[in-house]
């Protein structure tokens, strides 16, 4: 890449950073492209450049559901909480972690499907996760009763220090199903979510 092309690419990354900084919510790349009067492909290239540049700084580029936004780096959470005088983020219960993992790996998913994997009723846990802003409704499934579909939110990614769902570690949900069957629904999740806990840094 020539010096002029490199300068143009850096200028594009800077422009994208500015737009994302002033945006109050995640933005689709096509909207950024329209604002800068460039192609979506060029905007995506600029976002990749920005993502790489931010890796050594206090911000991160987060991608979720086809949208992007700027967030603080996960390892700055404690510093930010102390600076703002906020209480540390409360740890999620084992039941909440189980439910979150099922939703994250199988989304969009209904509550009955979550219950089937866990082997217990998840209504209370789901309400708690909705209240914390870690999951959200994604419409309704086709079929009897048209149950609500759930998926994770950008806050879920930020809570666990992820840039996108693709960074989730592998998880074998059949292990959880077998564990629940063996314990007749009295599942404490002691081993099944070992992989999921690897990303539970928040």
Q: What is the DSSP string of 121-171?
A: --HHHHHHHHHHTSEEEEEE-SSTT-PEEEEE-HHHHHHTT-SSGGGSPP-
At 139, phi and psi to the nearest 5?
A: 100, -160
DSSP 90-125: PPPPHHHHHHHHHHHHH-SEEHHHHHHHHSS--HHH
Local structure of 24: helix, strand or coil? coil
**pLDDT tens string 168-182:** 887 665 555 555 554
- Going residue by residue through the chain, which has 202 residues, state the pLDDT in tens, using 9 for 90 and above: 554 455 455 589 999 999 999 998 899 999 999 999 999 999 999 999 999 999 899 999 999 888 999 988 888 877 877 776 655 445 778 899 899 999 999 999 999 999 999 889 999 999 989 988 899 998 998 888 889 999 999 888 878 878 788 888 876 655 555 555 544 444 433 333 334 444 444 4
Read off the tokens for 195: 């992989």
pTM score: 0.53
Contacts of 4 (CB under 8 A, 6+ apart): none
**pLDDT tens string 67-81:** 999 988 888 877 877
Helical packing angle, 29-36 and 3-22, nearest 10°: 120
Read off the tokens for 20: 């994302």
Local structure of 199: helix, strand or coil? coil
At 8, phi and psi to the nearest 5?
A: -65, -40
Read off the tokens for 95: 């039941």
Same fold for the domain at 3-75 and the one at 94-197?
yes
Topology given in CATH for the domain delimited by 94-197: Arc Repressor Mutant, subunit A (1.10.10)
Strand (E) or helix (H) holding 72: strand 67-72
- Where along the chain do its domains lie? 3-75, 94-197
Please give the pLDDT value at position 168: 84
CATH code reported for the domain at 3-75: 1.10.10.10
């Amino acid at each position: 890449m020539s010096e002029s092309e490199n300068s143009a690419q850096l200028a594009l990354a800077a422009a994208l950073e500015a737009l994302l900084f002033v945006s109050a919510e995640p933005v689709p790349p096509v909207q950024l492209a329209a604002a800068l009067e460039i192609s979506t492909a060029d905007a995506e290239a600029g976002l990749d450049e920005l993502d790489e540049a931010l890796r050594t700084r206090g911000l991160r580029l987060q991608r979720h559901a086809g949208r992007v936004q700027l967030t603080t780096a996960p390892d700055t959470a404690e510093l930010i909480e102390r600076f703002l005088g906020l209480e540390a983020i409360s740890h999620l219960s084992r039941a909440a972690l189980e439910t979150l993992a099922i939703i994250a790996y199988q989304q969009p998913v209904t509550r009955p499907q979550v219950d089937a994997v866990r082997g217990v009723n998840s209504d209370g846990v789901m309400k708690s996760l909705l209240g914390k802003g870690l999951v959200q409704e994604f419409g309704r499934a086709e079929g009897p009763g048209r149950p609500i579909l759930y998926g994770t939110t950008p806050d879920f990614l930020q809570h666990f220090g992820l840039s996108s769902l693709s960074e989730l570690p592998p998880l074998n949900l059949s292990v959880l199903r077998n564990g629940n069957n063996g314990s007749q629904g009295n599942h404490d999740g002691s081993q099944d979510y070992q992989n999921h806990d690897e990303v539970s840094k928040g």
